[in-house]
Amino acid sequence: VIKGLTYLREKHKIMHRDVKPSNILVNSRGEIKLCDFGVSGQLIDSMANSFVGTRSYMSPERLQGTHYSVQSDIWSMGLSLVEMAIGRYPIPPPDSKELELMFGCPVEGDSPVTETSPRQRTPGRPVSSYGPDSRPPMAIFELLDYIVNEPPPKLPNGVFGSEFQDFVNKCLIKNPAERADLKQLMIHAFIKRSEAEEVDFAGWLCSTIGLNQPSTPTHAAGV
């Protein structure tokens, strides 16, 4: 994904502007493809192409209507990584009880309302969550306000590696001037370690979803 965003910027002088899980594809060879389904009629009725589905991955600066750059795509990528790691859209963040349901063991989590949070009431539940949730659904503008004014999502401690956590944290810094850029991310320890590891991602993918593996699978490191 980082290489795709770099290619768009350096070769075509453009930003993607719509990085989200539904626009990140993988084939049976383990190759990651960055695409854009924004004009696809096949997703016209899906959550991914709805008002909230599109804007829920936008960076705080975009939602505020201020100037934005490729740093906005980096925020969207970081948010997508957290979602793919925990299995649901990460705003509002899961508490310890929901994390335990996700991972099958006790996990340290944050309360949706912290002492440093300006929010006076518990936010509504996300569109998708684990187990019963008595909170009312989070309204669209409540969600967008949360992205702009509340702390950014983060990966739970004790589940993922520290390098992956640090990589995501650098993508989700709210101030775009302080957020990591593409060059910094390309040399991050998480990326360097992933490039050096030999992991049969294609084989894992095919066995997981029941596909026939090509004769020449691509080897890539997983999270």
Question: What pLDDT, in 10s, does the model give residues 51-102?
Answer: 545 789 999 999 998 888 999 999 999 999 999 999 999 998 988 888 998 8
pLDDT band at 43 (very low <50, low <70, confident <90, very high): very low
Exposure pattern of 131-162 as b/e (b: 16+ CB <10 Å)?
eeeeeeebeeeebbebbeebebbebbeebbee
pLDDT tens for residues 148-166?
999 999 999 889 999 999 9
The verdict on whether 18 is a catalytic residue reads yes
Distance CA 205, CA 220 (A): 11
Nearest Cα residue to 112 out of 128, 129, 124, 104? 124
CA angle 54, 25, 194 (to 5 degrees): 110
pLDDT band at 196 (very low <50, low <70, confident <90, very high): very high
Burial class (CB in 10 A: 0-12, 13-18, 19+), 115: exposed
Half-sphere exposure of 29 (CA within 13 A, CB side): 8
Residues whose CB falls within 8 Å of the CB of residue 77, separated by 6 or more in sequence, listed in order: 1, 2, 5, 19, 171
Q: Is 50 helix (H, G, I), strand (E, B) or coil?
A: coil
Distance CA 184, CA 159 (A): 25
Structure tokens at 13: 């002088």
Cβ atoms of 83 and 89 closer than 8 Å: yes
Q: pLDDT above 70 covers what percent of the chain?
A: 76
Which domains does the chain show, CATH number per domain? 2-209 (1.10.510.10)
pLDDT tens for residues 101-158?
888 888 876 544 333 444 444 566 665 555 556 566 788 889 999 999 999 999 998 8
